[in-house]
A and B are shown apart, each in its own frame.
Chain A
Amino acid sequence: DAKTTQPPSMDCAEGRAANLPCNHSTISGNEYVYWYRQIHSQGPQYIIHGLKNNETNEMASLIITEDRKSSTLILPHATLRDTAVYYCIVRGPNTDKLIFGTGTRLQVFP
């Protein structure tokens, strides 16, 4: 599985868009990019995933570069409840194992 690199921490003002970057330069053509988040004292929560195309759901948008070596998770209107550790994960097609790094700690402030 490809390794991911994320900044350790980021801040965002409430109501603004939060853009969380992730580098996965060694990703293979059939590996998916997943994003999870973990709010303090809770289990991780699935957010979104993609292969090649940009994806959007009710929680967030995922932008994957054309060469697939990096991606950005976008929370369009961050709220205080979005304060959490965000994990970017690359998963191969034949495994269910999720390899978590240390993630990005996003702090949303009023």
Chain B
Amino acid sequence: DAGVTQSPTHLIKTRGQQVTLRCSPKSGHDTVSWYQQALGQGPQFIFQYYEEEERQRGNFPDRFSGHQFPNYSSELNVNALLLGDSALYLCASSSINREYRGEQYFGPGTRLTVT
């Protein structure tokens, strides 16, 4: 049973460009959350998707957007990249089942470098 997978593993972009990161959730999970982790910091919540809609959003600008597909996979898009967007982007999947909320399974992350 594959866990959470993310692609690509590493990415280098230039300021002002746009980037798309991808995530496939763990089998049986229907909810995907995205986090940004700057060097030396804990992960920061960006947003969460369930039933192809954004359910919750953290304190991130509109340059950060996402999408969830019918197969529960998800994309994170970042427009007009800034140097400060350089970070590890983590995808986490979970089940909307109330008993398991909070138990999130994280992927290995995508390391984004903006130059």
Contact = CB atoms under 8 A, between A and B. Distances in A.
B92 interface: yes
A96 B94 CA distance: 9
A101 B41 CA distance: 8
A45 B48 CA distance: 18
Contact of B108 (A43, A97, A100): A43
B1 interface: no
A1 to B, nearest CB: 10
Counting contact residues on chain A (CB < 8 A from B), the size range is 20 to 34
Contacts of B45: 97-99
Contacts of A85: 42
Given A42-B108, A43-B109, 4 more contacts: A44-B106, A96-B94, A97-B48, A98-B35
Nearest to A99: B45
Contact of B56 (A34, A95, A100): A95
Interface in A40-91: 41-46, 49, 85, 87, 91
B109 to A, nearest CB: 6
